[in-house]
Amino acid sequence: MPGTLRIGIDVGGTFTDLAAAESWSGRTVTRKVASTPREPHRAVVDAITAILADYEESPTIELLAHSTTIATNALLGQRNLELPRVALVTTDGFRDVIEIGRQNRSQLYNLFFERPRPLVARADRLTVRERVDFQGNVLQALDQKDVERLCEEVRERKVAAVAICLLHSYANDAHERLIGEALAAALPGMRVTISSQVDAQYREYERCSTTVVNAVLAPIVEGYLERLTAALRAAGIDAPLYVMRSDGGLAAAGILTRPAALIESGPASGVMAAAALGRRIGIARLLSFDMGGTTAKAGAIVDGVAQVAGEFEAAGATHSGRAIKGSGYPVRFPFVDLAEASAGGGTIAWLDDAGSLRVGPISAGADPGPACYGRSDQATVTDANVVLGRLNQEALLGGAFPIDAAAARAAVARLAPALGSNLETTAAGIVRLIDHAMARVLRIVTVERGLDPREFAIVAFGGAGPLHACAVADDLGITRIVVPQHPGLFCAHGLLEAELHTDDILAVLRSTGEMDHAAVQRWFEESEERAGVSLIAQGVQPQTIGFCRQYDARYRGQSFELTIEHGVSPESIAQRFHEAHRARYGYDVPGEIVELVNARLTGTGSLPSRDAVPLPFAGPAERHEEKRRLWLDGAFIDVPVLQRVALEDDTRIDGPAIVEEYDCTTYLAREWSLRADRGVLRLEKAAK
């Protein structure tokens, strides 16, 4: 018997990526299979069975970690993922909170603007007579007859799930729990989401939206995980299944209580992989730069920890990498703080009415894809890179994917006359525009968060990240880049090193001078005990469990909070907030009252054998060639093309040069140097 496998599997729109760590050999093998959007669990099983077929005797799978976009796709309206009918139970007089929302508009000057469609029809918003004030005092007791009537109304509607969100239940959730228990007794098997168990924070609309989103996703996510588990068992794969949450932590699929926690599951795994890589190679401040075929995503890692935000809008729109408020469904759940732009290899270049060159936001996607794929005549970023000589002129994926360089040149050439430019200069302009767009995304997670990008190194991954990393770094004044092995499969590898997370929250709503500090400390201690029990139940090694205590704080009268680390006294908490405010906004007001909105507790822990995950990858044989003509500074020059598989540790290269591997190409720009080091490529800008 050879040993055991730890498998990470990331389901994307085009490909499903798998990375499997072998306990007996110290290597990680990889596999890409076509995704099956209508039945995404099929691709997961296909990838695992394909890996197992390579062994004479199948090894035992000790861990199966999985990231998925099924929750996001459902909210975006993907076919075959129709949203279920759900009911909302709320306090009498507040049934329309979910539809009224806030008065912000995502399109301020659009007279025909329409808010996102409510996820619960008005006829399915049910009310009960009860009232609790903001301090948790019961002003009107819950009427038992109302509860009995409510159960009958839910039964008649034949809904798939129920969301319960009563006024001020963050301060006292007794009435919510009573209704939840009554529904469970009257309708066994009904999926019930209680707001105080999902989002125990004030602000009625956001709490209601989070609760409804969770209820809507419950049948979809739970159904998917049940089908996946059944398919794995049918294939003879009996392994503990974990799923990646939006905050970058894993959770055991069998006890997942908040399906809304998976909305940002897919993008989170790449940032966590970058954080783990940084810890391994000794770089504490990193920017994850993930550029694929359609989008580019960026996140910040400070002192080895991925930055996390407390709220996002699911299925919302973005502009220049920033989320547009009011365009989606608010969800208050910790998620890895990411910025995203429509900038990928398939992003289409075009001319606007003024005859200016534009790139994006429309993408050619996987079908028809860039012109060089042979099924389109529209110029894309990938075509521009082919024209410039940065990409292989014959084939990608180790020779398995043919490239039509003539079609790429023809597509880009169609744009050149209107610009008064030649073919190569037009291609260089396309690349320059997309580089600037991606640099803006990295600025969002650094400069706009009070961080200096020059203090960071970039981890470039995704199919196109290393191709553009040098230009993006130059734009930001960054002098260090790290390229992991098999960048196109980096997200799947990150799943192998992720920790398990659990979180808890307490509404405080008191100034530092008014808070009951001892009571809050008792809550932290009790929450840590609950978190420890939960983590151990999910298979975490007890000696690896750690806790992080935080507060959401603001100056009294402000509408938004900053998350700060725990302090040993009210005075130290206030001081930490002043420092955080100064770092984010450039100033602080020492004499102003600091108000604590929430206390937060995050528990983390590692699964057995996590530290044994090896760095090296084993991949297919690579193509070899020596020189290529590269367009640089207005002329073609011959540059070396090296195969990454042949680079030994301490190999040093000066740019310009190109490094090819199975799933990615790294472009080393002029004034940059490269050194192979323990399975990664370290790129550095020459000092002037």
Assess contact for 130 and 139: CB atoms under 8 A.
no
Cα(476)–Cα(455) distance, integer angstroms: 10
Report helix, strand or coil for 300: strand
pLDDT for position 619? 44
144-157 and 174-186 helices, crossing angle to 10°: 50
**DSSP per position, 409-471:** HHHHHTTHHHHT--HHHHHHHHHHHHHHHHHHHHHHTTGGGT--GGG-EEEEETTTHHHHHHH
Tokens of 358: 């534009």
Task: Please report, rounded to a whole number, the percentage of residues in the chain having pLDDT higher than 70.
Answer: 96
Report helix, strand or coil for 344: coil
Question: Any residues with CB less than 8 A from the CB of 80 and at least 6 apart, and which?
Answer: 37, 38
* Sign of CA pseudo-dihedral 207, 210, 216, 218: negative
Instruction: Tell whether the model's pLDDT for residue 483 goes beyond 80.
Output: yes
pLDDT tens digits along 549-595: 999 999 999 989 999 999 889 999 999 999 999 988 999 999 999 99
pLDDT for position 614? 43
Instruction: Tell whether the model's pLDDT for residue 421 goes beyond 90.
Output: yes
pLDDT tens digits along 108-161: 888 888 888 999 999 999 999 999 999 999 999 998 999 999 999 999 999 999
pLDDT for position 686? 85
Cα(229)–Cα(25) distance, integer angstroms: 28
pLDDT for position 74? 82
Tokens of 329: 């469904």
Cα(107)–Cα(319) distance, integer angstroms: 11
Question: Which of 146, 36, 170 shows the shortest CA–CA distance to 504?
Answer: 170
Q: Mean per-residue pLDDT for 2-28?
A: 84
Tokens of 259: 């399906």
Average pLDDT score, the chain: 90
pLDDT tens digits along 305-324: 899 888 888 888 777 777 78
What domains are defined for the chain?
Answer: 500-606 (3.30.1490), 616-688 (no CATH)
What are the Cα distances from residue 294, in Å, to 320, 340, 665?
14, 10, 17
pLDDT for position 103? 84
Cα(249)–Cα(548) distance, integer angstroms: 14
Question: Which of 482, 456, 437 shows the shortest CA–CA distance to 681?
Answer: 482
Q: Name the residue type at position 473.
A: A
Give the global pTM. Answer: 0.88
CA-atom Rg of the chain in angstroms: 26
More confident residue, 518 or 295: 518
Task: Please report, rounded to a whole number, the percentage of residues in the chain having pLDDT higher than 90.
Answer: 68
Cα(391)–Cα(372) distance, integer angstroms: 11
Angle made by CA atoms 541, 545, 550, in degrees to the nearest 5 = 160
pLDDT tens digits along 603-639: 999 987 644 444 444 444 444 558 999 999 999 999 9
pLDDT for position 624? 53
Cα(678)–Cα(682) distance, integer angstroms: 10
pLDDT tens digits along 261-297: 998 888 888 999 999 899 999 999 999 999 988 888 9
pLDDT tens digits along 163-176: 999 999 999 999 99
pLDDT tens digits along 362-397: 888 767 889 999 988 999 999 999 999 999 988 787
